[in-house]
Amino acid sequence: MLGSMMEVPLNVISIIRHAASNHPQAEIVSREPSNQLHCYTYASAYRRICQLGRALARLNLQQGDRIATLAWNNYRHFELYYATAGMGLVCHTINPRLHAADVSWIANHSQDRVLCFDRAFLPLVMELLSELQSVEHFIVLDDSATDWPPARVDLQAYERLLAAESDGTLDWPTLDENSPCGLCYTSGTTGKPKGVTYSHRSTVLHAYASALPDSFRLSARETVMPIVPMFHVNAWGLPYSLPLVGARIVFPGEYLDGQSLYTLCEQQQVTLAAGVPTVWLGILEHVKKSGHGFSSLERALIGGSAASESMLHTLEELHGVEVLHAWGMTEISPTGAVNQPTPASRQQPVETLAFKKKQGRAIPGILFRLEDEAGEEQPWDGKSAGHLLVRGPWVVDTYAGGIAGARPDGWFDTGDIATIDPHGFMQIVDRSKDLIKSGGEWISSVTLEDAATAHPDVLEAGVIGIPHPKWVERPLLVCVTRDGSNLDAQALKAFLSERLAKWWVPDAIELVERLPHGATGKLLKTELRKQFAHYILPTAAANELEQP
């Protein structure tokens, strides 16, 4: 016997349709490259999304085709999220901060057929042109395409595509709720990045669960600024969960320095802002220097890496801004846990700030399991650390291209080591991988080691993360050079600068006699970390804290 309710497939376009009907006057404000503010309503956004849907229909695409974006957080990027999903296409957000070779590798791997990009990324797209194998349509997110140099392809301007379409609503195709709507690549822990393809079902369920009072506590009465980029796990799903509840949205565009973000927050009376710790550090540094406070900000959503105790102290105790500490990953759409108190947790004899350092309880829909090395389940006693496993409707099963994600028993190993207390509050205590977390983005130590050993004079290389006051961690490269070589750190850095994205270049290079190895001949990173435990990076000096 089955239940007798309507079978309505979960569908991303229904979110914005709901917002346009029920919160037609709620605003979406975007900071444009000119620094002017663009402001319109959910009703106007939906009209343009329908126009964009019609324009996409003319490009002769098949359902499931990937539409890549290289764009900041702005209203056009938001429109693309919905029009692509509505038409049965897949919005593939690519991180423009990656090295050009990685961007083209990812676009080729996912066989993107269309590339939409902010005008600011024109030089990057020019550099990629000869590498992109599958892209047929290039669309600049602007109103004209005049300064496209002679090339093998036509460039179309987004606004012209829209202007050519009639106004009025669109009959969106009926889609299977398990069909794909979004694609993000992980940052490549062991080799190449892996694609995670989100479905309509997973995206809608994640939006519902993350909006709940004990998750991000979103509502129509909030003004929310997603600082976390729309190319970083869909800005934590906020472009879906905010219209779901009808919240007012403020997109900061490309202006991500502390002063610009603080000014926008104040001007627009933002009540909740979401970003990685590095972004919050920039805002708090500005606030400290200027001596101002927050007149509207009630809550700070922090995730991507651990919020430090001093950040928690500054926000909560100095500025009265409540911190929502959250944990997630690309493979979990991304939200897995949020730290919101329960009556029982409030009775705990722990200091509030130490407690806030925990990443929180699983949001409804996500299950946690802790295992030791042998696969034995570990108790939730707040002390036993184990591999953190998750399962749920918005957790990856298989990566793009059929690469295995979840284990055959249905659990996904996050690669994080955690404890969980008796109230369900999880805390990340370590990561089992060796990635370096710089400003909320990953840097693959394997890639850096490969780049270093590509130098003919480098015999062996090991890269570890060193704590950094602004970027959380920055890479230190430790190298053994070949006998007789007179290669120095400066020359090696210049060599790497030609091969790596600027922010991937190690902050320091140390040349040593030998690197520590384990019994099987593998480099022992644990030992290397011990050797450099008190290392201070040259970029950690106060006057070097600008954007790498």
Q: Which residue, judged by CB position, is nearest to ligand AMP in the bound state?
A: 329
Q: Counting contacts by CB under 6 A, is residue 303 touching ligand AMP?
A: yes
x-marked contacts with ligand AMP along 222-241 as a string, rule CB under 6 A: -----------x--------
- Given candidates 268, 305, 340, 444, which one binds ligand AMP under the rule CB under 6 A? 305
- Look at strands 195-199 and 223-226 and give their pairing: unpaired
498 burial (CB, 10 Å; 0-12 / 13-18 / 19+) is exposed
Q: Is 27 a catalytic residue?
A: no
What stretch of H or E contains 133?
Answer: none
Catalytic residue, from 331, 441, 449, 473: name it: 331
Beta-sheet strand order (sheet of 322-328): 37-41, 27-31, 248-251, 223-226, 272-275, 299-302, 322-328, 335-339, 361-362
Q: Counting contacts by CB under 6 A, is residue 439 touching ligand AMP?
A: no
Q: Which residues of 213-242 are buried (b: 16+ CB within 10 A; e: fewer)?
A: eebbbbeeebbbbbbbbbbbbbbbbbbbbb
List binders of ligand AMP among 178-217 (CB under 6 A).
Answer: 186-187
- Number of helices (H), then strands (E), belonging to the chain: the values are 17, 27
| 156 vs 445, beta carbon nearer ligand AMP | 445
Q: Counting contacts by CB under 6 A, is residue 306 touching ligand AMP?
A: yes
Q: Counting contacts by CB under 6 A, is residue 253 touching ligand AMP?
A: no
Largest CA distance in the chain: 79
Q: Counting contacts by CB under 6 A, is residue 142 touching ligand AMP?
A: no
| 233 vs 242, beta carbon nearer ligand AMP | 233
List binders of ligand AMP among 343-402 (CB under 6 A).
Answer: 359
User: Smallest gap, in angstroms, from Cβ of residue 187 to ligand AMP?
Assistant: 6
Q: What tokens does 76 get?
A: 């056009």
CB atoms inside a 10 Å sphere around CB 320:
11
- Given candidates 355, 442, 471, 503, which one binds ligand AMP under the rule CB under 6 A? 442
Rounded Cα–Cα distance for residues 94 and 71 (Å): 8
Q: At what angle do helices 200-211 and 13-22 cross, to 10 degrees?
A: 50
Vertex 417: Cα angle to 413 and 423 (nearest 5): 100
| 68 vs 326, beta carbon nearer ligand AMP | 326
- Among the listed ranges 141-149, 281-289, 300-308, 370-378, the one in contact with ligand AMP (CB under 6 A) is 300-308
| 282 vs 304, beta carbon nearer ligand AMP | 304
Please spell the DSSP secondary structure of 241-310, one letter per residue: HHHHHT-EEEE-BT--SHHHHHHHHHHTT-SEEEE-HHHHHHHHHHHHHHT---SS--EEEE-SSPPPHH
Q: Counting contacts by CB under 6 A, is residue 436 touching ligand AMP?
A: no
Q: Counting contacts by CB under 6 A, is residue 431 touching ligand AMP?
A: yes
List binders of ligand AMP among 411-430 (CB under 6 A).
Answer: 414-416, 428
Q: Counting contacts by CB under 6 A, is residue 329 touching ligand AMP?
A: yes
| 325 vs 361, beta carbon nearer ligand AMP | 325
* E-state strands within 351-421: 361-362, 367-371, 386-391, 398-399, 403-404, 412-420
Beta-sheet strand order (sheet of 386-391): 367-371, 386-391, 412-420, 426-431
Residue 343: cis peptide before it, omega within 30 degrees of 0: no
- Among the listed ranges 242-250, 299-307, 401-409, 476-484, the one in contact with ligand AMP (CB under 6 A) is 299-307
Catalytic residue, from 437, 441, 449, 473: name it: 437
| 96 vs 334, beta carbon nearer ligand AMP | 334
Catalytic residue, from 131, 148, 186, 263: name it: 186
| 431 vs 529, beta carbon nearer ligand AMP | 431
**Spatial contact of 365 and 10, defined as CB atoms under 8 Å apart:** no
Size of the site for ligand AMP (CB under 6 A): 21
Q: Is 437 a catalytic residue?
A: yes
Rounded Cα–Cα distance for residues 237 and 279 (Å): 18
Q: Counting contacts by CB under 6 A, is residue 334 touching ligand AMP?
A: yes
Q: Counting contacts by CB under 6 A, is residue 172 touching ligand AMP?
A: no
| 140 vs 256, beta carbon nearer ligand AMP | 256
Residues that bind ligand AMP (CB under 6 A): 186-187, 233, 303-306, 325-330, 334, 359, 414-416, 428, 431, 442
Catalytic residues: 186, 331, 437, 442
